[in-house]
């Protein structure tokens, strides 16, 4: 695999992946692999070449109904209801073992489907998925209620129970497909819910393979159902009256539509949406550490990450040096197919996404930003955009306000006159509130900023620490609720109070 990449993916994938790609893919409903009721299919593309690599089933409203019915049966009549919490934990652990056993294959599928470099997917995302499942496997046996001492405890014995929410619809985006699926299913399964999962149209493959592993792990029929298809399949899931909760990751626009539709049945909703996360670099920061971190904050996944650090605020004293070093770093990055082990940066997921990003770059050009490096589509095959550094960006430009979801750094300055309040105002002058990062050796300054910035996570002298035990989610229009940790589990439980008159 160390030989120079010759452009033919067949040479670079395992026999298992090769066999998977040519297979006829179906929907996973009630433990069976079935065709879409209207026999719909959709092409799956490799974004690095634009060529079709597989065909997936395209479900519809009727398939969602069948999947919800299966999930309801598995929830109400068993078998999930009758599975002990210990067995629930064991099944999650078994699934983690199977993902570990098939890690290379799963990584290859996401590389082919979404485009990220193999090492990032295998050692980052797939490894995280395994950790995540094992973490929530441990929670299955620890979902405690409380004994509640009410005002008149001699007359009442009162306690709470945490019960599973019920049938959950989970809708995931095309960035980091396997990990997104596992982030969603693990707390829901640990809590005792049953699931209908809707992967993104652009990246259905690893979810289908995950369904096969769920079956192999012995998770009972109907507990996890997977309906691949387009956005209308997601909408059908949100509208379905027998779904108790929707968990969604994706764009803020679609999140708002989901919240509106869900209001019709008042189903529970949790949302993990977009961001426009700021990074502040102070003159006393360790620039050696800043450069790869600030670049990585935007170039990870070619910028297609909700936490992308897309607003880079640099103190005037170090502005030119930071820009020069990030530019040098950017020029050293090799764009290419994710299966090529020399690749640093893959393509964007689709032609649509590529056009969206180049559209933002055109707006930046019109608005008068300076293009230091990058700024164009890369090559003519696949959906690549050059990693791009923009300077002289103003807070008011669309490139500084909107989620670009591409490899684009918008650098801005601040000065000695800007006190903490002024910087925090700038950080918070966005409808988003997902993440932020502060680079300084001044501990007081770092914590004052961290407390005042309205974002779900603040990293100090670092970026993108994710951990299954660390709550993650957004303030403001970046979302509702927190995933990971106990918070993530509680998204899938209802609290019930039981009072016994003594
Ligand atoms: P999106 O519409 O939010 O897609 C996310 C998921 O929702 C996909 O599974 C999608 O299905 C599904 N969906 C679409 N319309 C739906 C509806 N009306 N009801 C229920 N589900 C629906 O995102 P996108 O259009 O692919 O991407 C557009 C922009 O969103 C990106 O450029 C980026 O800025 C942002 N985004 C953010 C994140 C994040 O992690 N924060 C993730 C993805 C995108 P289909 O894919 O089959 O349409
Ligand atoms: Mg694809």
DSSP 407-430: SEEEEEEE-TT--HHHHHHHHH-S
Ligand 1 atom with minimal separation from the 171 CA: 9
Q: Phi, psi (5° rounding) for residue 384?
A: -90, 140
Closest CA to 310 of 347, 346, 274: 274
Cβ(201) – ligand 1 distance below 6 Å? yes
Convert the pLDDT of each residue in 88-142 to its tens digit: 999 999 999 999 999 999 999 999 999 999 999 999 999 999 999 999 999 999 9
The DSSP H or E segment spanning 448 is helix 443-452
Q: Mean per-residue pLDDT for 459-472? A: 98
How would residue 418 be classed by pLDDT, with cut points 50, 70 and 90? confident
Convert the pLDDT of each residue in 324-344 to its tens digit: 999 999 999 999 999 999 999
Q: Mean per-residue pLDDT for 439-465? A: 98
Structure tokens at 211: 């369904």
Which pTM value belongs to this model? 0.97
**How far apart are the CA of 421 and the centre of ligand 1, in A?**
34
The closest residue, in CA terms, to atom 36 on ligand 1 is: 251
C-alpha–C-alpha distance, residues 305 and 320, integer Å: 27
Q: Mean per-residue pLDDT for 45-63? A: 97
3 pLDDT higher than 60: no
To the nearest 10 degrees (0 to 180), the angle between helices 15-22 and 103-114 is 50
Cβ(114) – ligand 1 distance below 6 Å? no
Structure tokens at 244: 């108790």
DSSP state of 147: B
Tokens 């933002």 correspond to 360
HSE toward the beta carbon, residue 140, CA cutoff 13 A = 26
Residue 354 and residue 347 in contact, taking contact as beta carbons nearer than 8 Å: yes
Convert the pLDDT of each residue in 250-285 to its tens digit: 999 999 999 999 999 999 999 999 999 999 999 999
Residue 80 and residue 57 in contact, taking contact as beta carbons nearer than 8 Å: no
Cβ(198) – ligand 1 distance below 6 Å? yes
318 pLDDT higher than 50: yes
**How far apart are the CA of 255 and the centre of ligand 1, in A?**
8
Ligand 1 atom with minimal separation from the 404 CA: 34
- Nearest ligand by distance to the CA of 255: 1
Cβ(173) – ligand 1 distance below 6 Å? yes
The closest residue, in CA terms, to atom 29 on ligand 1 is: 251
Residues forming the active site = 272, 306
pLDDT, mean over the chain: 97
Q: Mean per-residue pLDDT for 305-329? A: 98
- Residues sharing a CB contact under 8 Å with residue 392, sequence separation 6 or more, in sequence order: 368, 369, 370
Convert the pLDDT of each residue in 184-228 to its tens digit: 999 999 999 999 999 999 999 999 999 999 999 999 999 999 999
C-alpha–C-alpha distance, residues 139 and 153, integer Å: 30
Cβ burial of 154 (10 Å; 0-12, 13-18, 19+) is exposed
How would residue 4 be classed by pLDDT, with cut points 50, 70 and 90? low
The closest residue, in CA terms, to atom 30 on ligand 1 is: 251
**Got the DSSP string for 342-406?**
T-SB---S-HHHHHHHHHHHHHHHHHT-EEEE--SEESSSSSEE--EEEES--TTSHHHHS---S
Convert the pLDDT of each residue in 483-497 to its tens digit: 999 999 999 999 999
CA angle 138, 133, 485 (to 5 degrees): 65
Q: Mean per-residue pLDDT for 177-181? A: 98
306 pLDDT higher than 90: yes
Cβ(250) – ligand 1 distance below 6 Å? yes
Residue 43 and residue 55 in contact, taking contact as beta carbons nearer than 8 Å: yes
Radius of gyration of the chain (CA): 23
6 pLDDT higher than 80: no
The closest residue, in CA terms, to atom 9 on ligand 1 is: 200
Cβ(403) – ligand 1 distance below 6 Å? yes
- Nearest ligand by distance to the CA of 45: 2
pLDDT of amino acid 2 = 40
Ligand 1 atom with minimal separation from the 180 CA: 40
Residue 200 and residue 82 in contact, taking contact as beta carbons nearer than 8 Å: no
Percentage of the residues of the chain whose pLDDT score is greater than 90: 96
C-alpha–C-alpha distance, residues 75 and 164, integer Å: 9
Ligand 1 atom with minimal separation from the 353 CA: 32
The closest residue, in CA terms, to atom 15 on ligand 1 is: 231
- Nearest ligand by distance to the CA of 114: 2
C-alpha–C-alpha distance, residues 303 and 409, integer Å: 9
């Amino acid at each position: 695999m160390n030989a120079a990449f010759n452009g033919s993916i067949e040479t670079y994938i395992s026999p298992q992946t090769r066999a998977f790609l040519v297979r006829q893919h179906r929907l996973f409903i009630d433990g069976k692999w079935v065709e879409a009721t209207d026999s719909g299919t959709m092409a799956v593309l490799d974004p690095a070449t634009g060529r079709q690599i597989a065909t997936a089933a395209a479900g519809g409203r009727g398939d969602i109904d069948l999947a919800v019915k299966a999930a309801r049966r598995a929830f109400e009549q068993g078998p999930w209801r009758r599975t002990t919490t210990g067995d629930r934990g064991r099944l999650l652990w078994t699934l983690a073992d199977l993902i570990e056993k098939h890690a290379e294959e799963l990584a290859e599928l996401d590389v082919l489907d979404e485009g990220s470099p193999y090492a990032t997917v295998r050692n980052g995302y797939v490894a995280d998925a395994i950790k995540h499942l094992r973490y929530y496997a441990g929670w299955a046996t620890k979902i405690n209620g409380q004994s509640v001492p009410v005002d008149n405890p001699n007359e009442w014995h009162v306690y709470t129970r945490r019960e599973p929410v019920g049938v959950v619809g989970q809708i995931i985006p095309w960035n980091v497909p396997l990990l997104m699926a596992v982030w969603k299913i693990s707390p829901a399964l640990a809590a005792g819910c049953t699931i209908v999962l809707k992967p993104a149209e652009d990246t259905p493959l690893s979810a289908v393979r995950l369904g096969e592993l769920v079956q192999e792990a012995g998770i009972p029929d109907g507990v996890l159902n997977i309906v691949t298809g387009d956005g209308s399949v997601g909408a059908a899931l949100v509208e379905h009256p027998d779904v108790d909760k929707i968990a969604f990751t994706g764009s803020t626009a679609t999140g708002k539509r989901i919240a509106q539709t869900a209001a019709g049945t008042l189903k529970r909703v949790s949302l993990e949406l977009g961001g426009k996360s700021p990074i502040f670099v102070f003159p006393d920061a360790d620039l050696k550490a800043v450069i790869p971190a600030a670049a990585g904050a935007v170039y990870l996944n070619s910028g297609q990450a909700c936490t992308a650090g897309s607003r880079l605020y640099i103190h005037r004293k170090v502005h030119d040096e930071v820009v020069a070093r990030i530019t040098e770093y950017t020029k050293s990055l090799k764009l290419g197919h994710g299966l090529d082990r020399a690749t640093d940066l893959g393509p964007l997921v689709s032609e649509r996404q590529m056009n969206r990003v180049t559209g933002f770059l055109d707006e930046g050009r019109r608005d008068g930003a300076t293009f230091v490096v990058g700024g164009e589509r890369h090559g003519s095959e696949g959906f690549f955009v050059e990693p791009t550094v923009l300077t002289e960006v103003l807070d008011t430009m669309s490139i500084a306000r909107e989620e670009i979801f591409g490899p684009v750094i918008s650098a801005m300055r601040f000065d000695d006159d800007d006190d903490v309040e002024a910087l925090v105002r700038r950080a918070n002058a966005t409808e988003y509130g997902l993440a932020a990062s502060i680079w300084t050796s001044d501990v007081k300054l770092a914590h004052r900023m961290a407390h005042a910035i309205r974002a779900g996570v603040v990293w100090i002298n670092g970026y993108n620490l994710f951990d299954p035990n660390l709550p993650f989610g957004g303030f403001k229009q970046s979302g509702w609720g927190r995933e990971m940790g106990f918070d993530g589990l509680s998204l899938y439980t209802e609290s019930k109070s039981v009072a016994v008159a003594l």
